[in-house]
Amino acid sequence: MQSLPTRSSSVAAIGALAAVLALIGCSPAQHHSAGAAAVTSTGSSGSRGATAVQSGGARASVSVSVSASAHSSATSPAATSGTAASEPAGQFTISFAGDVHFAGRTAARLAADPATAFGPSAAVLSRADLTMVNLETAIAVGGAPQSKSFTFEAPPSAFTALHAAGIDLATMANNHGADYGASGLRQSLAAIKHTGFPVVGIGANAAAAYRPYRTTVNGVAVSVLAASQVQDETLANFTAGPAVAGIANAYSPELLSAVRAAKARGDVVIVYVHWGTEYDSCPNADQRSLADQLAAAGATAVVGTHAHVLQGAGWRPDGHYVAFGLGNYFWWRSFGNAQDDNGVLTLTVAHGRVSAAAFAPSHLDERGIGVPAVGTQRSRILSEWSSLRGCTGLLAAPPK
């Protein structure tokens, strides 16, 4: 198992990365203030740890987590993740949280100390063998924002924060991953390559954007892919092409082809999708159609976010698991309504199927952290989570 870097070594690595960004035309002095709509995010492999090798190569020395492909912000190494000795062979757990970014109050937490940015939520995030979130931001310093209502960027210390919180993997296939245009994409890819933090759904070209993150957990080969189904400026202007950087487009046949290829290798296949209608707690027709297609292609589980509210989850009659929406998990604003409810979904995968699912409810506090819910608030969110299944056609338990 690879030992985790110290905070001082991560800070030194980020300083080195600032020099890299300077070479591609960006100065740290250009970065927005913490109160602006700029994002800062952080990452962690938690106490479990992981080692990874580049496809066809030896393990490389990295500053945050695992070595990344030179051409992909979505790393596609084969990794080996540590698991509890008591876990049966062939079984592992994987946790998911929803939208994460760094602006306003969460940017301030990142600036103060990436290692503690996620506060008490880190204890929940670090429990599973693998943990994944949606990183809803460009990893860029300065630059020109796209012409849209909200744009988010975060310095590379975002990956340090993710790493410190117990997060192993992120998707940037979303409607804010290219908020700072081609320059922001170049910076994001440089940051991913330099830190080695695993990111899927974005890359220097289509091959990289649709390339899965591959790992072996307790003897099980796992492939994780990501794509966006949100039809906005990002998908229109920054879908990855044969020689063009961008994000993975869920409407592209390349997504299903990548799922089929991973399944053909014998991997357990997980797909994290950015989808849904904002503020609607029920899945739309596009979500349902894509879930059908991904399950048919071989995805064991499909997890998503974007609606900014929780959406239902459960088993399909064919045994594949779908979670339509996980809400705002680490967010710049609170709203005093259902948008503040969120949680961490943990799936147990055994013999290639999701055998159990557990939802740990949480709620945004005044710091923007998804704090584990207790008492009546916990009961309320759990009841909400259960009732939302009613409009999905999903089952509460695995089919017999």
Q: Is residue 361 part of a domain?
A: yes
Higher pLDDT, 3 or 387: 387
Under a CB-based contact definition with an 8 Å cutoff, are residues 159 and 42 in contact?
Answer: yes
Per-residue model confidence as pLDDT tens digits over 195-208? 999 999 999 999 99
Q: Is the per-residue pLDDT at 184 higher than 60?
A: yes
Whether residue 400 is contained in a domain is answered as no
Q: For residues 258 and 75, which has the higher predicted lDDT (pLDDT)?
A: 258
Describe the crossing of helices 105-112 and 157-164 by its angle, rounded to 10 degrees.
80
> What CATH number should be reported for the domain holding residue 222?
3.60.21
Residue 33 has pLDDT above 60, yes or no: no
Q: Beta partners for 71?
A: none
Min mean pLDDT across 23-27, 137-141, 309-313 is at 23-27
Number of domains in the chain: 1
Res. 188 pLDDT band, cuts 50 70 90 = very high
**Tokens in use for 233?**
């400026």
What's the confidence (pLDDT) of residue 80? 52
> Which residues span the domain enclosing 97?
7-391
Question: What gap in Å lies between CA 249 and CA 266, rounded to an integer?
Answer: 24
- Class of residue 172 by CB neighbours under 10 A (exposed 0-12, middle 13-18, buried 19+): buried
Domain membership of residue 214 (yes or no) is: yes
Look at residue 217 and tell me if it is in a domain: yes
Within a domain: 399: no
138 neighbors 180 (Cβ within 8 angstroms) = yes
Give the number of other Cβ atoms within 10 Å of residue 357's Cβ. Answer: 18
